[in-house]
Structure 1
């Protein structure tokens, strides 16, 4: 299944482990005493898939060697989607995925 299908109906994929391939656009690590760190989120990686779908990974482990503009494949569990404002005035739908394993 393509990432565009998952972002359209993420509830159909709850509890299912899915791999996504794309280019890293954001990679951030959070300190343990930050709001996200206290909730168990160690890092966030946002990728853009070939079809243009944006996948936002909330990771329970640090980002490690992952770098901006790197091609990656990350596996995780879809938990929903959110809309993010873009600079042109519209909105992007981001698929939100939780993972505990980054390579």
Structure 2
């Protein structure tokens, strides 16, 4: 895969429910999602996530308006991103992951890798 520095310029919009249902239909495409940040986690430079993304990374969980959640593994630092703010993320979908919630459920999230 070729490295693309400006994911925003090639990002496509897609129905999040469709991506959640069949993420393989979107592999190789850069997608964009906008929602409310519910969680941010910085990863140390020596973590597996950071190594895969070039030295520093963070994960951000974004809840979309249609009850779909996206977890982004992003290159770089989270900077001034804060929980509760609206955020647009860009990245390559790589599948789905099962999360946990405080009620004991296990929601399924779209997982993307981006910048």
Superposition TM-score, scaled by structure 2 size:
0.79
Structure 2 CA distance for aligned equivalents of residues 29 and 84 of structure 1: 18
Structure 2 CA distance for aligned equivalents of residues 20 and 53 of structure 1: 10
1:71-90 matches, within 5 Å, as: 71-90=86-105
Q: What value does the CA root-mean-square deviation take over the aligned residues?
A: 1.4
Superposition TM-score, scaled by structure 1 size:
0.87
Q: List runs of 5+ in structure 2 lacking aligned partners.
A: 1-13
Q: Which residue of 2 aligns with 1:38?
A: 51
Q: Which consecutive segments of 4 or more residues in structure 1 shift more than 4 A? A: none
Structure 1 CA distance for aligned equivalents of residues 102 and 83 of structure 2: 20
Q: List runs of 5+ in structure 1 lacking aligned partners.
A: none
> Are 2:77 and 1:62 aligned?
yes
Structure 1 CA distance for aligned equivalents of residues 39 and 105 of structure 2: 20
> Per-residue displacement from partner, 1:67-96 (whole Å, max 9, x unpaired)?
110001111110000112333232200110
> Are 2:107 and 1:92 aligned?
yes
More contact order relative to length (CA 8 Å, sep ≥ 6): 1
Q: Which residue of 2 aligns with 1:6?
A: 19
